[in-house]
Amino acid sequence: MNQQLLAHVAAKSLRAKMPELAAGMTVKVSQKIREGEKERVQNFEGLVIATNGGSGIAATFTVRKIFDGIGVEKVFPLHSKNVVKIEIIKKAKVRRSKLYYARDLRGKAARMTETYVNENVYDEEADKKAAAELKKKEEAAAAKVEAEKLAEK
């Protein structure tokens, strides 16, 4: 019973369109940051060094970037409401599922064979706009049908 309830709640929290993230991808993650009462969107661009948790509600991915010569890693929940957009910029050819060895690499040694992709995989704002446009079209179609019915009478 409890497992069914947990599965039902988890299914509601899952997002429909999620990217197939893999180690070696360079991604730009837009995350909501709340400071007091203000809310803003902050971008974090870096290399995906690991994905964990499978495809369920516990799925996460780790992104690493170098900032002022210091390595910074962030773990993002894949289905979090705070992740606004995930944009895949590049895909690298890698032969490992976890790139933890990249923590020790510097300069030219850290380079990977890459192909440029630049695809906008998940965008919450674009989905909202598309849903609003679809709703407007449906309302216009319904209004047109009603007008035709009135014209027939």
Alpha-carbon dihedral angle through residues 111, 117, 122, 123, given to the nearest 10 degrees:
110
pTM of the model: 0.69
Give residue 108's pLDDT.
73
CATH fold label, 2-123: SH3 type barrels. (2.30.30)
41 touches 31 (CB < 8 A): yes
Ordered by start, the domain boundaries in the chain are 2-123
Chain segment 71-118, per-residue pLDDT in tens:
899 999 888 888 888 888 888 888 888 888 778 777 777 767 777 666
User: Which pLDDT does position 126 carry in this prediction?
Assistant: 64
